[in-house]
Amino acid sequence: MNFQLPSYVEPDFGDKSLKNAPNCVFEPAPFDSVSPEQYHATTIFPEYFKVDGQWLLAKRSRMDCVAVLENGEIKIVEFRNLKKGDMVAVGRTEDGRDGIYVHPNCFTDNPAEELKESFVFRQGRSRETAFSIDYDSLYELLEYERDNGHVVWVMGPACSFDADSRAAFTSLIEKGYVNALLAGNALATHDLEGAYKKTALGQDIYTQQSYPNGHYNHIDTINRVRYHGSIEKFIEAEGIDNGIIYSCVKNKIPFVLNGSIRDDGPLPGVYSDAYTGQDEMRKEISKATTVIAMASVLHSIAAGNMTPMYYTKDDDSVRPAYFYAVDISEFAANKLADRGSLTAKSIITNAQDFIVNLGKMLK
């Protein structure tokens, strides 16, 4: 394997503009869930705050939050989680003038940097893009991450509609390429339906043939899971032995299921409170070194908003965090960049085919 993580390059704190920069100003939150005026809103990039002459890195970040000074460290806090009196960084500049420095160009690039031309074709990511190099890079990355990182998968229900894709993702779990799964009620429902009824939304998961009264199958599945009281008890009692959720339970892979206004049931264990679910998602995202989001615009953007472009390890060294968005729709896959996840890489393809390709190629 030729994969190597790019090295992190710290800002030049000896530079005159940073050396002579003032300390960052922190003001108390006036009320719970309310930030002081002129608060600094965080980005996906590494951010440093000057405190008593020292530049402190926010180790666990996410965009659209605030920086709080607590016990000599910078904590990144959602507005809704602010407490009255929390000391919040204020300042709207990002170049050091307010004691705040945002550091976007922080990882070494490939030395064979491509020539930048003023007029070139096919610079966007579309259905015409050749993704062979992306797959090859992803194979190498995931093989590295299996032993050195934390891979979080974000999946929409389409990922469970096909027998081969369910089997392929099961193999990825068994091989150690899945550390956590984030999804909604539908992904889990139709995956469990596939194991229980051999259908997804009433269609055979292999032939796609519709079953008589098949529209009952997913709600029958939900009803049966609710009868047993939990997904885990349903799996045991009904002898479920295949599928994505079964494999997560079997291999003790955490999964976070967040509900929506249109959910059937929902399954036991689905978070109905959006902010509780968001907190549970963030627990897994905060560990993520690679995130792969497939066939779910809502959950992909939610995960993207929580994922900075870097990860601070326990020894305080910094490495990149990778984000892939996979969807058959160009709009869906590329929308992350419009929502601030500027380093997310899109792959325009059928989600089932994507999973099957990974399952075949990864050892």
Q: What is the 3-state secondary structure (H, E, C) of 105-151?
A: CCECCCCCCCCCCCCCCCCCCCCCCCCHHHHHHHHHHHHHHHHHCCE
**Cα(104)–Cα(116) distance, rounded to whole angstroms?**
19
Q: Give the residue with greater pLDDT, 22 vs 108.
A: 22
**Cα(112)–Cα(228) distance, rounded to whole angstroms?**
58
**Cα(311)–Cα(157) distance, rounded to whole angstroms?**
29
**Cα(124)–Cα(311) distance, rounded to whole angstroms?**
27
Q: Is the pLDDT of residue 121 over 60?
A: no
Asked if 102 and 91 touch (Cβ cutoff 8 Å), the reply is: no
**Identity of the highest mean pLDDT range in 112-116, 131-135, 288-292, 325-329:** 288-292
What share of the chain has pLDDT > 90, as a percent? 82
Q: Is the pLDDT of residue 45 over 90?
A: yes
pLDDT digits (tens, 9 = 90+) for 160-175: 999 999 999 999 999 9
Q: Is the pLDDT of residue 122 over 90?
A: no
Q: Is the pLDDT of residue 133 over 50?
A: yes
Q: Is the pLDDT of residue 363 over 60?
A: yes
Mutual orientation of helices 297-306 and 330-338 as an angle, nearest 10°?
Answer: 30
Asked if 244 and 166 touch (Cβ cutoff 8 Å), the reply is: yes
111 pLDDT tier (thresholds 50, 70, 90): very low
Sign, CA dihedral 251-188-347-291, equals negative
Give me 28's structure tokens: 């108390």
- What pLDDT does 335 receive? 79
CA distances from 354 to 139, 166, 324 (A): 12, 12, 12
pLDDT digits (tens, 9 = 90+) for 346-355: 888 889 999 9
- What pLDDT does 57 receive? 97
Average of per-residue pLDDT across 23-46: 97
**Phi/psi-derived region of residue 57, left when phi > 0, alpha when psi is between -120 and 50, beta in every other case:** beta
Q: What is the DSSP letter of 329?
A: S
**Phi/psi-derived region of residue 270, left when phi > 0, alpha when psi is between -120 and 50, beta in every other case:** beta
pTM for this model (two decimals): 0.91
Average of per-residue pLDDT across 297-309: 92
- H/E stretch holding 244: helix 244-250
Domains, the chain, in order of start with CATH, read: 16-102 (2.40.420.10), 132-361 (3.40.50.10690)
- What pLDDT does 112 receive? 43
Average of per-residue pLDDT across 54-68: 96
Mean pLDDT value across the chain: 91
CB proximity list for 238: less than 8 A, separation 6 or greater: 196, 224, 228
Q: Give the residue with greater pLDDT, 330 vs 86.
A: 86
134 pLDDT tier (thresholds 50, 70, 90): confident
Average of per-residue pLDDT across 290-317: 93
What share of the chain has pLDDT > 70, as a percent? 93
Give me 271's structure tokens: 């978070």
pLDDT digits (tens, 9 = 90+) for 209-252: 999 999 999 999 999 999 999 999 999 999 999 999 999 999 99
CB atoms near residue 123 (< 10 Å): 8
**Cα(186)–Cα(264) distance, rounded to whole angstroms?**
8
- The bridge status of strand 255-258 relative to strand 290-294 is unpaired
**Phi/psi-derived region of residue 271, left when phi > 0, alpha when psi is between -120 and 50, beta in every other case:** beta
Which of 26-35, 99-108, 155-164, 342-351 shows the lowest per-residue confidence on average (mean pLDDT)? 342-351
